[in-house]
Amino acid sequence: MKRRSNLIIETEDCHSLLCRLRNDIVGVFMGYFRENIEKIKGYEPGFQPSQTEVIKLNTNENPYPPSPQALKVLTEINPEQFRRYPDPIGDRFRSAAAEVNDVEPDFIMCCNGGDDLLRMAFQAFCDENRPVAYPVPTYSLYPVIAEMQNCTAIEIPFDDEFNLPAKLAGTNAALTIVCNPNAPTGSFVSVNELASLADEIEGVLLIDEAYVDFAENNCTALVKDFDNIVILRSMSKGYSLAGLRFGYAIARPEMIAGLMKVKDSYNVDAVAIAVATAAIKDQKYFKENIKKVKSERARLTEQLLELDFDVAESSANFVLAQCKNGKAVEIYKELTKRNIYVRYFEYPRLEDKLRITVGTPEQDDKLLAALKEILK
């Protein structure tokens, strides 16, 4: 080690420690990193409190447990599976996901969460001369990976109704990303519009369907007709497996083969393959779970409207609530004091809004009671 750090690490919760470290480090040019890595702040994940006795509605986890079938598989793991490397392409999961999505297994690639696929896509398609384009506001990880990959990010604003911007088709980007349903707005762009976009652009269209399990439609059928579409799916939201880290891509086999060139050799572990496979096979449990979340989304929306928030229709497992008094950050802080965590984004067009994950009816009732108290 050439230099000693003089940082003193005190006992504090992990999130504030990470934020403090990041703030200390940003702007300190060590000279070891590539220039664009030195200058970026890095992605700031939502707060993960260590206590369990909190109402956690800030990172869009499913409020219900994963399928009992998935949990049963955990008890049946053979220690031999730890000694050996896992199946590098997770064939068992590919077959199960192919059946659910009505495609062949070679249309599927397993990923270590949907974020793993995003990183692979940037690595595979983008560089200094090959930009990425996406409508904003959207998932705040896209610009961070663009910086890491040193590619230009062309950000096209959504209109006030969050319709797909017509200009997105004319950017000449190597990679165009549409998050659908979009985060953090919950808005949904029709399958026909995305088919037209795929038709018009020269590059790849990645449709980020991390939240699609809570929507009425999805774009899976398009991969049969378009060789430039890659669909991202996550097991974190609809299947209640955020802690497992599992997602997958759906695309034509030639596209999947290309993406596999940039994946880690063993990007999904043996336990994750077994658990995710059992979860996706249990469609009965999955459908019941989704039905409960959707019905609670409708109730939460209604109640927030009654509290005088503006809430746009959401096709995801969260709602974006606009505080008419503009005091979103104050409300966010008051909720945090009461151990109720929602997400506040300090980004243009989001400063007066709170993104609230749909919880259980009991959790949402506690949130609503706290909001009533704060707003009175």
Ligand X SMILES: Cc1ncc(COP(=O)(O)O)c(C=O)c1O
- What is the spatial distance between Cα 147 and Cα 40, in angstroms, rounded to a whole number? 7
Using the 8-state DSSP alphabet, how is residue 130 labeled?
B
The residue among 297, 298, 267, 279 whose CA lies nearest residue 240 is 279
Q: Kindly tell me which residue out of 47, 107, 139, 341 binds ligand X, with binding defined by CB under 6 A.
A: 139
Q: Kindly tell me which residue out of 63, 86, 114, 359 binds ligand X, with binding defined by CB under 6 A.
A: 114
**Secondary structure class of 240 (helix, strand, coil):** coil
315 binds ligand X (CB under 6 A): no
The residue at minimum Cβ distance from ligand X is 113
Residue 353: strand pairing partners:
322
CA distances from 195 to 180, 212, 229, 313 (A): 13, 16, 9, 23
* Cβ proximity to ligand X, 246 vs 285, nearer residue: 246
Question: Pattern of binders to ligand X over 170-189, x per CB under 6 A?
Answer: ---------x---x------
CA distances from 71 to 182, 184, 240, 277 (A): 30, 30, 11, 11
> CA angle, 288 as apex, 282 and 289 as ends, to 5°?
90
**Residues contacting 128, CB < 8 A, separation 6+:** 150, 151
290 binds ligand X (CB under 6 A): no
Q: Kindly tell me which residue out of 63, 86, 90, 115 binds ligand X, with binding defined by CB under 6 A.
A: 115
Tell me the closest approach of the beta carbon of residue 257 to ligand X, in angstroms: 22
- For residue 261, give both structure tokens: 């060139």
Tell me the closest approach of the beta carbon of residue 35 to ligand X, in angstroms: 27
213 binds ligand X (CB under 6 A): no
| Interface of this chain with ligand X, residues 72 to 101, rule: CB under 6 A | none
How crowded is the C-beta side of 64, counted as CA atoms within 13 Å?
19
210 binds ligand X (CB under 6 A): yes
Q: Which stretch binds ligand X (CB under 6 A): 28-36, 108-116, 302-310, 347-355?
A: 108-116
Tell me the closest approach of the beta carbon of residue 28 to ligand X, in angstroms: 29
120 binds ligand X (CB under 6 A): no
- The count of chain residues that interact with ligand X, using the rule CB under 6 A, is 13
Q: Are 275 and 240 in contact (CB under 8 A)?
A: no
Q: Kindly tell me which residue out of 113, 135, 137, 359 binds ligand X, with binding defined by CB under 6 A.
A: 113
Tell me the closest approach of the beta carbon of residue 146 to ligand X, in angstroms: 15
- For residue 266, give both structure tokens: 């063993």
Site residues for ligand X per CB under 6 A = 60, 113-115, 139, 179, 183, 208, 210, 234, 236, 242, 247
